[in-house]
Structure 1
Amino acid sequence: MSRSSARYVLGLLFIGNLLNFYDRALPAVLLEPIKKDFGLDDTQVGILASAFVLVAAIAGIPLGRLADRIPRRLVAGWGLVAWSAFTAAGGLLTSFWGFFATRIGVGVGESSYAPATGSLLADLYPSERRSRAMSLFMLGFPLGTLLAFLSAGALAVAFDSWRVPFLIAAVPGFVVANLILGIREPARGAADLSPATAAGEKGSVRSLAKVRSMYGLVLAFAGYNFAAYAIGTFLTPVLQRYYGLGLVNAGLIGGVVIGVTGLIGLLVGGRVLDLAAKKSPAARVLAAAVALAGAAVLSFVGLAAGRDAVWQLVLFLSLGYLFGIVYLAAAVPVVSDVIKPAQRSGALGMMFAVGYLFGGAGGPIIVGLLSDSLAAGSTAADGLQTAMMFAVPLAFGVAAIGMLLAARFVVADRASMLAASTTA
């Protein structure tokens, strides 16, 4: 596939990913009015956020395996149609359980996207260019989240309803899905092996368990998502409760912390990680581990800020988020380095499933439970701030340990993958 065609596909998949994270962020940005409307406590809020992640985790495994068997554009495109429809339904249904069901539907739809597109992008770009390609694709995360933080609160205030942003968000999804369904895919393994060799490979879930670096990669993905989902779910509420900000201002600061710094982290991180990959596959993994360790320290300093030191929260949590998101430019490329092309969607689905199950779902639930427990001895604002201060840095630290473990085996696993593929 030509470079121009690769850029078109990358650009289109990026837009879909932006919509993915915009729709995903809406409940977090509009959490306080949703909580008030349905009469929820922080534990219930955590369960609502985690239900989305749990369903996405479970659905990601079969949908990843499906993307290894049928055209990946079909899995990604129809997944986008599904999550856009459920996002719109979330703005229409008036009961909590109806809204809860729509978030489960969004989770199923979005779980199809990352395994299918991650495998597809790995066949568009060789290993030494994948971190930059993945960083551009993953810009959908901070930009989509930033747009949600900047626009959702303002739309809710302008229309005097938190439901309107859900309805508006669904419209572009149907347009982009139609374009994704029409793209021309590269052959599987085109960037690593001959298409004929890649197409002939056979694999199973059992064979994935023999790739030793995958254990560290899954641990890192779980730790990172624990921290990221905890921040995404509770940053706006902690700004409103503990620091006394209004919804719009809290959304703006959340957009800076998650969106602007995430954008910078991915752009810089993709280039740094590809430079490291030219030296050795392990060098890319170690660079990501260092970034995660930095995120742990910086996020602790930020979340420890007192009520009169919003600047400290914004500065240091932004830097922590910047360092942490560098890891995302390494996650999928490293899996592609060690897993055969015909198994990549399934491997990514498994990593996302386990990571989301224990990290993405665990983050909101555990922080919510800690918040309610700590609030019993103080106030709701103090409880949430303390829960975030300890849980988020610890999760980043666990992610760093996971990447250090993966670095021990990634070179040998890549050599084994290439040797097995070329002799298949």
Structure 2
Amino acid sequence: MTRPLTKPSDRASAPRSSAGYVLGLLFVGNLLNFYDRALPSVVLEPIKDEFALDDTQVGILSSAFVLVAALAGIPLGRLADRVPRPAVAGWGLFVWSAFTAAGGLLTSFWGFFASRVGVGIGESSYAPATGSLLSDLYPSERRSRAHSLFMLGFPIGTLLAFLTAGGLTVAFDSWRAPFLIASVPGIVVALLVLRIREPERGAADPARLTAHAPREDRKIPFLALMKVRSMYGMLIAFAGYNFAAYAIGTFLTPVLQRYHGLSLVDAGVVGGVVVGVTGLVGLLAGGRVLDRAAKKSPEARVRVAAVSLAGAAVFSFAGLAAGQGALWQLGVFLSLGYLLGIVYLAAAVPVVADVIRPEQRSGALGLLFAVGYLLGGAGGPVFVGVLSDHLAADSASAVEASAHGLRTAMTITVPLAFAVAAAGMSIASRHVRADRHSMFSKEATE
């Protein structure tokens, strides 16, 4: 039995270094999460050439691990509500690192496909377990900043993948090299995560919430989560955001290579700036802004995220609509769109923690990530790939058909997905206050 990091009686005196160490270690694991996740996108053209794939097949390949993550996220989230969360996160990290290495070793398309499925199973455990764990280390008014620091693993890991995967591919004359190299630190960090002490569930929540916590032997129906009305808006928002983010993550490098004529390495650098640098700024600034809004009212944090997503829709359209002679336009406006969009990630977990009881949070986050990955993360690359092939088939120019088809598909779908996410957060903002009141009421435990 793991010892709690803090006890209810000594929450105020618990050393901050413990929470900081856990946050830092989980951040490193998340960085590796997104590094491994981004590798196929960065070296997509060599993979496509080796296996003779079209864009539809590329979309299916990119969505393989996401689809499995969606299906596995719910039971693994529920598991994290019942067993120590560091065990769920640590073993998940170990599994996805091992399958990342397998992707660099297996030589057939179906072998590589299976390795991405394995990565999806491992990664599906990480977000629900760590999101719930961090919510027990930081109070509501500090959760957006804490989670934004954790989510820095997204832009930094993606940036490192964009900056290094192309170079490693060229240096070793094989797109498989980055997969093998990336697996080593993942296994090391997994062993450290397994040594984290489990914090008391609800340790950072007000005493009036934990005073009425259900007994350990009381079963909480999973369907009770769907009585929380703001969850519906959150599910819509996460699906929309993931659709846009995964479409960009999968096809930005091919757009830069095909439509704007960049080399693999140069496309990786530009893609790294758009996805990595702006994501870094968006999370750091967004976490602070969201926590300030949360101090005003429960729904203010949600409204700020909704406005940011609406801005992302406008700027991403302006960037993706750039012509072949206006690479600067794509870089500037798509960067601004991505910066505003990623603010959502600093809001998602804290909002769930604001309306869901501690003993249900991992399951709720598993549901959120499952729907987001299934409809958005898996659906985005596949839908864009199918639309790209359809538009290319209708093009009069066979030489530029693939380039124009993909660029047009991205210009249509990405801004629309960000707009759907903004609508979802707007819906959620209408119910957060009532749902939070219900969470604190004694009836919520009965």
Structure 1 residue ranges, 4+ long, deviating more than 4 angstroms after superposition: 193-197, 421-424
- Aligned AA (1:278): K
Check if 1:80 corresponds to 2:93: yes
Check if 1:158 corresponds to 2:171: yes
Name 1:412's counterpart in structure 2.
434
Check if 1:184 corresponds to 2:194: no
- Aligned AA (1:268): A
Cα distance, 1:131 vs structure 2: 0.2
- Aligned AA (1:407): S
Cα distance, 1:184 vs structure 2: 1.2
Work out the CA distance in 2 between the residues paired with 1:423 and 1:216.
23
Work out the CA distance in 1 between the residues paired with 2:412 and 2:136.
40
Secondary structure of the residue aligned to 2:89 is helix
Name 1:308's counterpart in structure 2.
325
Q: Deviations over 1:147-197 (max 9, x none)?
A: 000000000001100000000000001110111100112100111145674
- Aligned AA (1:349): G
- Aligned AA (1:303): L
1:287-302 equivalence runs, <5 A: 287-302=304-319
Q: Deviations over 1:106-138 (max 9, x none)?
A: 000000000000000000000010000000000
1:262 to 269, 273, 279: 279
Contact 1:193 1:422 in 2 (8 A): no
Secondary structure of the residue aligned to 2:165 is helix
Output the aligned Cα RMSD. 1.1
Work out the CA distance in 1 between the residues paired with 2:348 and 2:442.
22
Secondary structure of the residue aligned to 1:209 is helix
1:136-147 equivalence runs, <5 A: 136-147=149-160
Work out the CA distance in 2 between the residues paired with 1:421 and 1:364.
43
Work out the CA distance in 2 between the residues paired with 1:23 and 1:371.
25
Cα distance, 1:369 vs structure 2: 0.4
Q: 1:390 to 1:422 in 2, by over 3 A?
A: closer
2:414 to 392, 398, 423: 392
1:31-50 equivalence runs, <5 A: 31-50=44-63
Q: 1:31 to 1:420 in 2, by over 3 A?
A: farther
Contact 1:242 1:307 in 2 (8 A): yes
Contact 2:438 2:444 in 1 (8 A): no
2:84 to 71, 74, 99: 71
Contact 1:216 1:403 in 2 (8 A): yes
Name 1:128's counterpart in structure 2.
141
- Aligned AA (1:72): R
Work out the CA distance in 2 between the residues paired with 1:71 and 1:332.
19
Check if 1:207 corresponds to 2:224: yes
- Aligned AA (2:250): T
Cα distance, 1:199 vs structure 2: 5.9
Cα distance, 1:102 vs structure 2: 0.2
Report the count of equivalent residues.
424
Cα distance, 1:198 vs structure 2: 3.7
| Runs (5+) with no aligned partner, structure 1 | none
Secondary structure of the residue aligned to 1:243 is coil
- Aligned AA (2:433): V
Name 2:267's counterpart in structure 1.
250
Cα distance, 1:83 vs structure 2: 0.2
Secondary structure of the residue aligned to 1:186 is coil
Contact 1:188 1:198 in 2 (8 A): no
Contact 2:60 2:382 in 1 (8 A): yes
1:28 to 41, 60, 72: 41
After the TM superposition, which of the residue ranges 182-191 and 310-319 deviates more from structure 2? Answer: 182-191
Q: Deviations over 1:266-298 (max 9, x none)?
A: 000000000000001100000000000000000
Cα distance, 1:404 vs structure 2: 0.2
Contact 2:213 2:445 in 1 (8 A): no
Check if 1:10 corresponds to 2:32: no
Work out the CA distance in 2 between the residues paired with 1:391 and 1:403.
19
Q: 1:171 to 1:412 in 2, by over 3 A?
A: same
Name 1:363's counterpart in structure 2.
380
- Aligned AA (2:384): V
Cα distance, 1:423 vs structure 2: 6.3
Secondary structure of the residue aligned to 1:189 is coil
Work out the CA distance in 2 between the residues paired with 1:376 and 1:40.
15
Secondary structure of the residue aligned to 1:230 is helix
- Aligned AA (2:263): G
| Identity within the alignment, % | 76
Name 1:223's counterpart in structure 2.
240
- Aligned AA (1:165): P
Contact 1:10 1:121 in 2 (8 A): yes
